[in-house]
Structure 1
Amino acid sequence: MRSWRRIRSCKGFNGTGRVCRKPSQIDSRNLKDTAHLSSKQHVQKLIASKSCRNLESRTKYRNLTIMVTMPCWNEEGKVGPGVRAVPKSLVDTVCVVDNGSVDGTAQEAKDSGALVISHAKNLGAGGGIRTGLEYGRENGYDLLAVLAGDNQDDPNDLFRAVDKLIDENLDYVQGSRWLKEGKRENMTISRTALTWIYSFLFRILYRTKITDATNGFRVFRKEVLDNPKLNLWQDWLLQYELEPYLLIQTCRSGYKVSEVPVTKRYHEDMKDNTKMVPFKSWWSILRPLFLLSLRMKS
């Protein structure tokens, strides 16, 4: 059976019109100057050092190539099972962005078959996600997906999301714990209340039918990232702001957006459920709602 680890450097063009560069020893862990680690130029240099697969040799599902991004920070023991659970018949590449972990996250991800991009330090949740998305965009994958790096999502829900996107000619599909058939395992009362209130505010401010605006599970077409109204490289998006920003700007730009029911499994040990800091992290998620609605950010 094919493993994601068998991604070899391709010679010449990769089928997208971009020269596919051979892997080098470039890694942000080896760079002394870390002042601009979050810049687009640095991330693109880091991405260019990674191997890629010829377009013709990629796994296709219903004639589309799919890449999953998993941002991780100190997720040893969780990232491996998450990577291995991603269906190989559906997804060509799992890209784990090791966000400055100090444990065995990167090695565990590699051993499980993921392509790993390592940051020298933690660039924030947003910084990790956008590195993975940029890799997918640069390498010409048709669909990009984001899953939690701590094995809280069920990767098999990707089938439902991708099928809905294709069958209904959608641009963006968000996962929802609140739709019928959606599941929430070990979800605390406080998290339940906060996510429901947030989604209610989201619907009011942006006049959408989104039921779960804080869910990190999503699949969308590569072309969404080409939207001139979407700029993921703004400094204020390094933390938890990036995910709501992406959803808001996609909805506001007229793309076809919908939801599918998904399962979110929270770990029984409460300290393993999240790395969010109370108040500070929730403000990070709330900020885009108001800043974008008031046109204070774009």
Structure 2
Amino acid sequence: MTETSPASLYPGHRVLAMFPFYNEQDRLAEMAPRLRPGLVDKFIGVSDGSTDLGPQVLRDGGIEVLEIAHAGAGACMKRAVRYAQENGYDIMVVMAGNNKDNPEEIPRLLDPILNEGCDYVQGSRFLPGGGYPHLPAFRFFAIKLLSLLFSFYTLRRCTELTNGFRAYSLRLFADPRIDIWQEWLDGYEYEYYIHWKVHAYGYKIKEVPVIKSYPAKKGMRYSKIRPFIGWWHMLRPFI
């Protein structure tokens, strides 16, 4: 079922912002009020088979929710791409479903696509103007190492590889060389697969500064990416 097409906030474009989530009801309750009108044409959450009240929390806050069987973050993003294609959106913003990203920074991600002809915009915590409050030290060094390796691999400067706060033109998926519908991309591989492909095929890319905030309270789980197994999912698209 497709939706009607009201006038867009961005003339000539329709922008969808999506976030995958799995059992994040408390953080979604904090996040939902921040998803205000005027930033994008529509926000949607994609539930990866959540068993808590997260989907209802969002619906109570006026946010549409798509639900899929538990398959992974990539499967959620693919579902959002399909939704965007079916409903006339041409730009998609991806953000975290655990309240670590600031929706007010979405215009930073969109500006290079709308005004500079970019195809893919990566949010970076490590550019001037960005930040990473309470980022665990181990994760800081792991991110830096992965970004450095990617820079050597592509011969292009990369300050940020793992931040899921990004935006891209859906015209990328008209390129048969970028086949996101492969089943092995249902997990975290999806994000790194696209990141690699846009670099490999010469698309116009830009990094912009963003702030990603981690929980200040020690002991709180800040990511569902598991060490070693999750890192393999990140590296697999490059091998």
With the shorter chain as reference, the TM-score category is: over 0.9
Residue 60 of structure 2 corresponds to 111
The question of whether the paired residues in 1 share the 8 Å contact of 2:27 and 2:99 is answered with yes
Distance 1:155 1:80 in 2: 15
Residue among 139, 142, 157 paired with 1:191: 139
Return the offset for 1:80.
3.4
Distance 1:53 1:81 in 2: 27
Residue among 116, 120, 127 paired with 1:168: 116
Return the offset for 1:216.
0.3
Q: Deviations over 1:192-236 (max 9, x none)?
A: 000000011111111222210111011111101211111112122
Q: Which has the larger Rg?
A: 1
The two structures have a TM-score, normalised by structure 2, of 0.94
Residue among 183, 186, 204 paired with 1:256: 204
1:54 aligns to 2:4 (yes or no): yes
Structure 2 unaligned residues grouped into runs of 5+: none
Residue among 84, 96, 100 paired with 1:136: 84
Distance 1:271 1:231 in 2: 36
Return the offset for 1:83.
3.3
Distance 2:105 2:157 in 1: 20
Runs of 4+ in 1 over 4 A off after TM superposition: none
Residue among 241, 249, 268 paired with 2:216: 268
How do residues 85-100 of structure 1 correspond to structure 2 at under 5 angstroms?
85-100=34-49
The question of whether the paired residues in 1 share the 8 Å contact of 2:39 and 2:104 is answered with no
Residue 39 of structure 1 corresponds to none
The two structures have a TM-score, normalised by structure 1, of 0.76
**Residue identity in the other structure for 2:4:** N
The question of whether the paired residues in 2 share the 8 Å contact of 1:72 and 1:101 is answered with yes
> SS at 1:79's partner residue?
helix
Moved more, 130-139 or 241-250: 130-139
Give the number of equivalent residue pairs.
Answer: 238
Distance 2:216 2:208 in 1: 25
1:229 aligns to 2:165 (yes or no): no
The question of whether the paired residues in 2 share the 8 Å contact of 1:96 and 1:117 is answered with yes
> SS at 2:168's partner residue?
strand
Distance 1:80 1:60 in 2: 26
Distance 1:62 1:82 in 2: 27
The question of whether the paired residues in 1 share the 8 Å contact of 2:73 and 2:188 is answered with yes
Higher relative contact order (CA 8 A, sep 6+): 2
Residue 64 of structure 1 corresponds to 13
Q: 1:276 to 1:128 in 2, by over 3 A?
A: same
Return the offset for 1:62.
4.3
Distance 2:121 2:202 in 1: 14
Residue 105 of structure 2 corresponds to 157
Q: Deviations over 1:139-175 (max 9, x none)?
A: 1202101000001001111111112222211111110
**Residue identity in the other structure for 1:53:** E
Structure 1 unaligned residues grouped into runs of 5+: 1-20, 22-51, 292-298
Return the offset for 1:178.
0.5
Return the offset for 1:58.
4.2
The question of whether the paired residues in 2 share the 8 Å contact of 1:210 and 1:258 is answered with no
Residue 177 of structure 1 corresponds to 125
Q: Deviations over 1:92-142 (max 9, x none)?
A: 11111111111101101111221111123x111111121112211221202
Residue 214 of structure 1 corresponds to 162
